[in-house]
Chains A and B, each alone.
Chain A
Amino acid sequence: MGSVHRTDGSTLLRDVALVCLADGLVGAAFGATAVAGGLPWWVPIAMSLIVFAGGSQIAAVGVVLAGGSPLAAVVAGGVLNIRMFPYGLAVADVVDSDREVSGSTGSRRRWWVRLFGVHVITDESVAFALRQTSQADRRKAFWTCGVPLFAAWNVATAVGVVAGSMIKNTHAFGLDATFPAVMLALAIPTLREWRPRTAAGTGAAIAVALTPVLPAGLPVLAALGGLATIWRPRRGAAARESGMCPNPDGQPALRADSREPDDATQQGGGDGAARESDDARQRADSAAARRETTDSGRLDADNACGLLTGGER
């Protein structure tokens, strides 16, 4: 991962094929596990068609299969898809219209093509798009990944549904281990940083500890309380942040003094220096908000994509 290269057509197609293969396997496991767990055949198929977001589909079905309420399933699946928002910002110019190429009189894409383009915003298609430099290449990469991936995911889900309804004893095949394995594999690239690692470790402990006592579905949502361990509103940015993303516990500024190894503190040596460069970083942050959004979208999406194709890019 990491090296940005201009993909020629055949490299792009090969990488897309690999991603489709990997996701197809996950889609098949999703379809099989869902029906083997007792859901009607049309549930995984409908989800793959109209939700088309692997992690959240698996999460939602996982909550329901564990006995959780549909509402808890929707919340868990929905939170996982918030990342689509920054993704959408990052690839807006290639899914939306041709206006930068053709101007106001030129051919805008048909409305249904644009709506479908929005639907195929995924970790993978965004990763492929952001790896390119020119807008034309980015558009080509986005669509070349998005459309086959949509087809592969849905065909694979259907195959999985058929297989799952034929296999009577899914436990013997270990299919029940595929859901947690997929979610773990999706999350692992993000665990290299201490923030998500701390929050996720705490959250997982909360969820497992509460599982024996809470109704199914709720322990996973309670895990979001793990975010409190890394919550650190900064002066000046606090109001803006809390307006944008309320503390999941509904409590103000829990453990505001975090143990974050602050670059500024280490380099500056004193509190004054730390505060000064903190403020400077804050200003830089807001100025570069757009770019950073794109960058972090690239990071997440790149992780997902590298993982799917074996990490060597």
Chain B
Amino acid sequence: MPLVAILALAGVTYGFRLAGPLCRDRISIPPAATRLFADAATVLLIALAATSALTAGHDFAGWARPAGVLVAGVLAARRTPFPVVVIAAAAVTALLRLGGVH
């Protein structure tokens, strides 16, 4: 990841953060746009979760990783504290690999 990409992401992020305080007296975001932003973020997160759980390069990542992520998903849906969710994902995947499931 080149430095320029990090700077670009930092600049874009700071821009979004700064825009609110700068514009607060002049702008109101249409609710539909707010919803679309939120939906776009959800779509990206789930797509990233799915592809990084299931694939490595262009191929299937094996069963251990998606199994760990699935357990994490179930725990998160049950409102388990975040640290437990993250540790569970790693632990399930590690144990499966230890048991010979890859």
Q: A161 to B87, alpha carbons, bound, how many Å?
A: 17
State whether B38 touches A300 (Cβ < 8 A).
yes
In whole Å, how far is A14's beta carbon from the nearest beta carbon of chain B? 14
Chain B residues with CB under 8 Å of A82's CB are: 16, 37, 40-41
Find out whether the CB atom of B6 lies under 8 angstroms from the CB atom of A43: yes
Q: Mark A67-105, 1 if CB is under 8 A from B, else 0.
A: 100110110111111111111111111011000000000
Q: Interface of chain A, helix or strand or loop or mixed?
A: helix
Q: Are B47 and A176 in contact (CB under 8 A)?
A: no
Q: B9–A77 contact, CB under 8 A?
A: yes
**Secondary structure class of chain B's binding surface, majority of residues:** helix
- The reply to whether B44 and A79 form a contact with Cβ atoms under 8 Å apart is yes
Q: Which of A184-236 touch B at CB < 8 Å?
A: 184-188, 190-191, 195-196, 199-201, 203-204, 206-208, 211-213, 216, 219-220, 223-224, 226-227, 230, 234
Q: How many A-B residue pairs have CB under 8 A?
A: 340
Known A-B contacts A177-B65, A185-B72, A206-B47; the reply to A25 vs B31 at CB < 8 A is no
Pick the contact of B82: A25, A95, A288 (CB < 8 A). A25
Report which A residues bind B (CB closer than 8 A): 21-23, 25-26, 29, 39, 43, 46-47, 50-53, 55-56, 59-64, 66-67, 70-71, 73-74, 76-93, 95-96, 118-119, 121, 171-188, 190-191, 195-196, 199-201, 203-204, 206-208, 211-213, 216, 219-220, 223-224, 226-227, 230, 234, 237, 240-241, 244-245, 248, 285-286, 288-290, 292-293, 296, 300, 306-311
